[in-house]
Structures are given as structure tokens and as C-alpha cells.
A = this chain, B = another copy of it.
Amino acid sequence: MGALHAQNAAANSRLDLAWVADAKLPAAEELASRFGASSCSPEALIADPAVRGIIIASSSDALLGLTLAAAKAGKTVFVEKPLSLSVEQLQTARRTIGPGAPPVFVAFNRRFDPSFKSLRDRLLAGEIGEIETLHLINHDPQAPSLAFVPRSGGLFRDFTVHDFDTARWILGEEIVELFAWASCLIDPGIGELGDVDTAKLFLKTGSGRLCMISNSRRSGYGYDQRIEAFGSKGSLRVDNPAQSAVTRWDGGGVMGDRFFGQFQTRYADAYRLEMDHFADLLAGDTGPATSLDSAIAALRLADAAEESVKTGAPVNLSAGEASS
């Protein structure tokens, strides 16, 4: 992710990629040289008063510490989701950073996908009347390595967290009830590590809107990440983009191209637009599309999903926290 964000920062004419930092300096040097930047340690970067913003894409367990250090130094922060796997930690971080600090943007890539964004814009414009129910399909091309599973936080915190954020963003309301079923249908090794690889979830908002989420760690056919929004006057939907517009017609039928198999290409536009949003933040044009508040709200739903699976019953959530 670091290399990808560096590429997008370098290509963005509103940003000046000055430094690439890494605890392992040779790695920083290699990447920096590709984009005409200099290299340094994370500490040096944070200490540099000329630096106005920092993009953090480290290993998961270092994200929060770096974010706090950067925020304390008055930098505007772009940090990869989920930032932390603990609601409590995030709440503490929010208090530590405080309301007057420069913005912390926790990047949820779905919000920047042009099709997902267009669906939401058209929904808000009233194209299908009021939204009533929402279906989110989120199936990854293939299961992660077993080495990643123990530090992932589990399916809900690592993966479904995207859908929790998307659901809140599109429904425009807090979730008040959640029910989840999960099982291990794909890789028994995931089950042995105490995690699940397949889940179906129901969410309900305060006004009675219903949301269904389908998760799978392995589709067998690339990224399957679709939205179906049903309203009083029709439906708006995002289908999976194909890798090209080429189709073959032969004796077997009509063969369209594959869906994307790599997040770098599936979400290439989203990552570019995230970087543009970071330029907006630095320019002071707007607040972060997804703040610590959003990250906390999504993570609370992940906790609730884990509880629902454990108890086999729906979980009530106090609408509680504000969000962006």
C-alpha cells in the first residue's frame, strides 16, 4: 500500500511528495528514488516542521502509534483503515488528539470508488425515492494466508468493517440492531485459528431500514463487491467492473472478461481519489470523509457481529456515537 499511495501522491499535481519514511531505510530509499523524493526514518519525518501531512501505511499494529505521533506533531494524517482493532483504543485516541487538531483521515476505499459514490449521490438526489433496503455483497477473490489470520482481528474487524462503513454511509442512519451468522466453509485452517470465512448479516436502522451483508473470503472469480439499493421508486445498483470491455462469443456462450483480482487495479480510481481528498484536507477545503468517528462506529458493529455469532441472537446497539 505504501508504494501505491506514494505513486498517487507523486502523480497528484496538488501534492509534493518530499519524503518516503520507513524504519528499514533501504526500503525507503528504493521507493523514494522512484519518485524523486528523499528518504528518512518515521521519527525524522514527524519531526520535520516543513512537513504538513503524512500518509501512514505501515503494518497494522503500528498504525495507531504513528497516527498519534503525527497528530501530536500537528500533521494532517491519512491512515489506512482499520487503524486499530479496539474500539476502546480508538476512543482513547480520539480524546488524546482532541477536537482542535488537524484532521485524521481513516481511508475506507469504498467511499472513493466512483461507482459506489455515484450510487450514493443519485440516491441522495432522490432517483429511487426513499431507500428502504440495502444489499451489500462483499466477496474477496481468495482467502488470505493463514499467517495473516491471527493478527487480522477476525473477519468482521478486518473485512466486514468495510461494509459496516458503507452501510452507514449509504443508509445515512445509525444501525440499531444487528444479527450475524458465520461459518467456516472455505478453509478449515481459518476455523482452527478461531476465525470464520463466510458470513451473512442483517442490520436495521432506527427508522426501520433493512440491510443485508454477504461476506466470503473466496469467490473463485475475482472481486465481487456489489451494492443493491432498493427504494420506493426503483433500485440503484453497482455491478462488478470487468477487466476490459472485450467479450467472446463462441459455441460455449457469451464470455465477458474477468472481474478484477487485485485490489490495486479494482480500486485504482478509489486510491487516486483518496489522495485527492487528502489534498483537499491539506488545503482546508473540507473535513475528512471518514474520521476516527467513522472508524469507531464501524468497529462497534464488528464487535456486535462477533457477539451475535457467539450468542446466536440479534444484538441491540445504542445509536450512541456521532459520525461523519
Using a CB–CB cutoff of 8 Å, the interface residues on chain A facing chain B are: 7, 10-11, 13, 16, 34-36, 114-115, 118-119, 122, 127-129, 132-133, 135, 139, 179, 181, 183, 185-186, 198, 200, 202, 204, 208-210, 212, 214, 216, 219-222, 224, 230-242, 244-259, 312-314
Q: How long is the Cα–Cα vector from A250 to B122 in the complex, in angstroms?
A: 13
* Contact of A230 with B119 at beta-carbon distance under 8 Å, contacts A11-B10, A132-B198 already known: no
Q: Once the chains are docked, how many angstroms separate the CA of A255 from the CA of B238?
A: 12
What's the Cα separation between A221 and B202 when bound, in Å?
A: 24
Residues of B with C-beta under 8 A to A200 = 133, 202, 210, 212
What is the copy number of this chain in the assembly?
4
Could you list 5 A-B pairs, sorted by A, with CB under 8 Å?
A179-B181, A185-B209, A219-B234, A220-B234, A238-B245
Alpha-carbon gap, A220 to B35, bound state (A) = 42
Q: Specify which chain B residues have a CB less than 8 angstroms from the CB of A313 in the assembled complex.
A: 313-314
A6 to chain B, nearest CB (A): 10
A117 to chain B, nearest CB (A): 9
Nearest-CB residue, chain B, relative to A13: B34
Query: What residues on B are CB-neighbors of A248 within 8 Å?
Result: 122, 127-128, 234-237
With A210-B200, A313-B314 as known contacts, state yes or no: A246 contacts B115, CB within 8 Å: yes
Other A-B pairs beyond A133-B198, A234-B248, A313-B314, 19, CB < 8 Å: A122-B248, A179-B179, A181-B202, A183-B208, A185-B208, A216-B230, A219-B230, A219-B234, A220-B235, A221-B251, A234-B251, A235-B248, A237-B248, A240-B245, A242-B253, A253-B257, A254-B256, A254-B257, A312-B314
Q: What B residues does A236 contact at CB under 8 A?
A: 246-248
Counting chain B CB atoms within 10 Å of each CB, the highest count among A135, A232, A244, A255 belongs to A244
Closest chain-B Cβ to A304's Cβ sits at a distance in Å of 15
Task: List chain B residues, Cβ under 8 A from A244.
Answer: 114-115, 118, 238
Knowing A11-B10, A115-B245 are in contact, say whether A233-B220 is a contact too (CB < 8 A): yes
Q: Which interface residue of A220, A232, A253, A255 has the most chain B CB atoms within 10 A? A: A253
Nearest to A135 among chain B residues (CB) is B214
Ranked nearest first, the 6 interchain pairs of A and B with the lowest CB-CB distance are: A234-B250, A11-B11, A254-B256, A115-B245, A221-B249, A115-B244
CB-based nearest B residue for A183: B208
Chain B residue numbers with a CB within 8 Å of A256 are 253-256
A127 to B250, CA, bound (A): 9
